[in-house]
């Protein structure tokens, strides 16, 4: 065992790397970042490519912090599923359905159920669990609480959501029945009018600044009660309509704070939650499509050194689209029309059945192929992407089993057409809840990493807009001027390359040069 040997976690990876040094709980690693500097020749238009080498250093605290997650919308389908599954996993629960016996797992979570290719050991390809690369939390470690405008306890919420089998709900009942979401804030203009009968668990009064104070108190008490180092507030409540973004309202942190103070109509509940969270030093993630992360909120996050991330969980139909269109375009086939039809019968579907909330979702679903279109100017010489149509219908009977039907029509060789039709039964909350864990776990890890681009003279945290969460989000919010990536496997590769670099391990180049000799 060399002195550079770093034990990532018991029985996991022993990293014997000249690029790492362990100093107590801190891992120092260095990484050579190779990239091309690019410029167009003004006269010929030729692309000049100059490979460059940059020295990056990372400094990582290897001890995960005690972390709590506060869900806005705890009593909803995602909220009750996310918490119920954590409890089921903690207790190793098994339950029967007509298909047989099932055991709690974390399938669908990249951090818990994906593997990373490290190389060839002489006899086989070696893949390791994602969570062996760097020490990260398990969802079972997360302390969970939250708010809901509906006062049902979490047992009732599970029954209402119709996500888990009754045999599992019965086992979870004693653990969930005593949990009642904290009262929340309800400004009827922001979510669909058909939600009004749910609003029976509200913070009294109509003063937005009083609401802000109360939410801040809730966060502070939660942090103290559970002795937490890190708190993440995550919006998994109803989709709101977009808020206006304009000077005097929310372009700067001061404007937004003043707008709350004067009870400005256009400040949404999610704006109040984001501000409360940031002021309490808690990171804020938006799992819904609305434009919560207005410039004033990003500026406030910068001032307070906390992360914000969003928008809209990428869980079912859009996740597949972000893999499939990348594959088609990378194959040299040209998607010309993408028609995405959904029907769902859960409360999310009910809320989205009104125009302004549907519009928020339509916007976030529509942007997902933009980077793939921009990547291929042979197929898309004028940058105009395929016709892209999104339809969402509310059909109560199908409940949480969202049906997503997609038709992709591509122009292919010599004037031909290829049409792909897909039917996807999404089990919405079972796909979305693992993303809640991943968003929280990777945010917590990001708190522990600092990087240096000046040879180790100065270190800084990641940008306050945490774009590495993009893989889990339909319409990633990124730092101003940063390109947005949606293609799923590229996002996965970027994430694993970053974490292997931080761990001081070579990332998989996919070249397999060692097999070239005869
Ligand atoms: P849901 O309607 O079952 O749950 C939302 C919960 O939020 C409800 O219990 C509601 O009472 C509560 N709520 C509404 N306004 C609130 C407020 N101001 N404060 C506190 N609680 C409030 O919806 P579901 O299925 O859990 O989805 C949640 C969000 O996640 C939706 O915006 C949805 O669009 C988004 N989403 C869900 C995906 C999925 O696959 N399930 C995928 C992508 C996004």
The Cα–Cα gap between 15 and 331 comes to 37
Q: Which residue's CA is minimally distant from atom 20 of ligand 1?
A: 148
pLDDT range class, residue 91, cuts 50, 70, 90: very high
Q: Which atom of ligand 1 is nearest to the CA of 269?
A: 18
319 is known as an active-site residue: no
208, 319, 361, 365: the active-site residue:
361
145, 223, 402, 406: the active-site residue:
402
Among residues 285, 269, 308, the alpha carbon closest in space to that of 234 is found at: 285
SS3 labels along 473-485: ECCCCCCCCCCCC
pLDDT range class, residue 120, cuts 50, 70, 90: confident
pTM: 0.95
Provide DSSP, 256-277: HHHHHHTT-TT--HHHHHHHHH
N-to-C CA span, the chain: 34
Q: Which residue's CA is minimally distant from atom 9 of ligand 1?
A: 76
Tokens of 398: 């199908």
The Cα–Cα gap between 59 and 23 comes to 10
CA 142 from chain centre, in angstroms, equals 16
C-beta of residue 30 within 8 angstroms of C-beta of residue 55: yes
Spacing, Cα 128 to ligand 1 middle (Å):
34
312 is known as an active-site residue: yes
Angle at 50 between CA 373 and CA 383, to 5 degrees: 15
pLDDT tens digit sequence for 159-197: 999 999 999 999 999 999 999 999 999 999 999 999 899
C-beta of residue 145 within 8 angstroms of C-beta of residue 74: yes
User: Phi/psi at 5 (nearest 5 deg)?
Assistant: -70, 125
Residue 4 has pLDDT above 50, yes or no: no
User: Phi/psi at 410 (nearest 5 deg)?
Assistant: -120, 145
Spacing, Cα 307 to ligand 1 middle (Å):
22
Q: Is 434 helix (H, G, I), strand (E, B) or coil?
A: helix
Q: Which atom of ligand 1 is nearest to the CA of 147?
A: 20
C-beta of residue 369 within 8 angstroms of C-beta of residue 325: yes
Tell me which residue has tokens 């302004």: 356
Tokens of 287: 């799992």
254 is known as an active-site residue: no
Among residues 211, 272, 280, the alpha carbon closest in space to that of 68 is found at: 280
Spacing, Cα 362 to ligand 1 middle (Å):
16
What is the predicted pLDDT for the residue at 9? Answer: 53
Q: Which atom of ligand 1 is nearest to the CA of 428?
A: 40
Spacing, Cα 105 to ligand 1 middle (Å):
23
Residue 497 has pLDDT above 50, yes or no: yes
Q: How many CB atoms lie within 10 A of CB 85?
A: 27
pLDDT tens digit sequence for 199-233: 999 999 999 999 999 999 999 999 999 999 999 99
Among residues 422, 436, 427, 439, the alpha carbon closest in space to that of 325 is found at: 422
Work out the mean pLDDT of the chain and round it to a whole number. 93
Q: What percent of the chain has pLDDT over 70?
A: 98
List, chain by chain if needed, residues with CB within 6 Å of any ligand 1 atom: 72-73, 75-78, 147-150, 184-186, 191, 198, 236-239, 269, 287-288, 312-313, 315-316, 346-348, 351, 428-429, 431-432
C-beta of residue 453 within 8 angstroms of C-beta of residue 30: no
């Amino acid at each position: 065992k060399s002195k550079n040997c770093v034990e990532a976690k018991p029985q996991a990876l022993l990293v014997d790397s000249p690029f790492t040094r362990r100093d107590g709980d801190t891992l120092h690693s260095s990484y050579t970042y190779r990239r091309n500097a690019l410029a167009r020749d003004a006269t010929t238009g030729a692309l000049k490519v100059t490979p460059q080498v940059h020295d990056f250093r990372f400094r990582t605290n290897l001890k995960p912090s005690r972390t709590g997650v506060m869900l806005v919308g705890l009593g909803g389908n995602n909220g009750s599923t996310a918490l119920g599954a954590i409890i089921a996993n903690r207790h190793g629960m098994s339950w029967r359905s007509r298909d047989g016996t099932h055991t709690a797992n974390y399938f669908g979570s990249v951090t818990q159920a994906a593997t990373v290719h490290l190389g060839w050991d002489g006899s086989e390809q070696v893949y390791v669990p994602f969570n062996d690369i760097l020490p990260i939390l398990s969802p079972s470690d997360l302390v969970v609480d939250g708010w809901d405008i509906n006062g049902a306890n979490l047992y009732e919420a599970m029954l209402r959501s119709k996500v888990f089998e009754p045999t599992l709900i019965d086992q979870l009942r004693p653990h969930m029945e005593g949990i009642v979401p904290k009262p929340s804030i309800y400004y009827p203009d922001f979510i669909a009018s058909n939600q009004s009968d749910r609003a029976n668990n509200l913070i009294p009064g109509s003063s937005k600044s009083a609401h802000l104070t109360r939410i801040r108190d809730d966060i502070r008490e939660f942090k103290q009660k559970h002795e937490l180092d890190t708190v993440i507030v995550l919006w998994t409540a109803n989709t709101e309509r977009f808020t206006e973004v304009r000077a005097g309202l929310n372009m700067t942190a001061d404007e937004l704070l003043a707008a709350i103070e004067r009870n400005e109509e256009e400040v949404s509940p999610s704006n109040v939650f984001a501000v409360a969270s940031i002021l309490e030093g808690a990171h804020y993630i938006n799992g819904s499509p609305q434009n919560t992360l207005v410039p004033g909120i990003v500026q406030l996050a910068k001032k307070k050194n906390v992360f914000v991330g969003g928008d809209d969980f990428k869980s079912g139909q859009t996740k597949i689209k972000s893999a499939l269109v990348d594959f088609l375009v990378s194959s040299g086939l040209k998607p010309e029309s993408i028609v995405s039809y959904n029907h769902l019968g859960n409360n999310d579907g009910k809320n989205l059945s009104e125009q302004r909330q549907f519009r928020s979702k339509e916007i976030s679903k529509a942007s997902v192929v933009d980077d793939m279109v921009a990547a291929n100017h042979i197929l898309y010489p004028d940058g105009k992407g395929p016709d892209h149509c999104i339809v969402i219908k509310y059909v109560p009977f199908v409940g949480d089993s969202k049906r997503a039907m997609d038709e992709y029509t591509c122009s292919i060789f010599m004037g031909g057409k290829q049409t792909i039709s897909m039917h996807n039964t999404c089990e919405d909350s079972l796909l979305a809840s693992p993303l809640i864990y991943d968003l929280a776990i990777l945010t917590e890890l990001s708190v522990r990493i600092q990087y240096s681009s000046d040879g180790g003279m100065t270190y800084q945290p990641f940008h306050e807009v945490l774009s590495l969460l993009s893989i889990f989000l339909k319409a990633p919010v990124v730092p101003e001027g940063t390109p947005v990536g949606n293609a799923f496997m590229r996002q996965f590769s970027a994430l694993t390359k970053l974490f292997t670099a931080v761990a001081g391990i070579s990332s998989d180049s996919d070249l397999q040069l060692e097999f070239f000799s005869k």
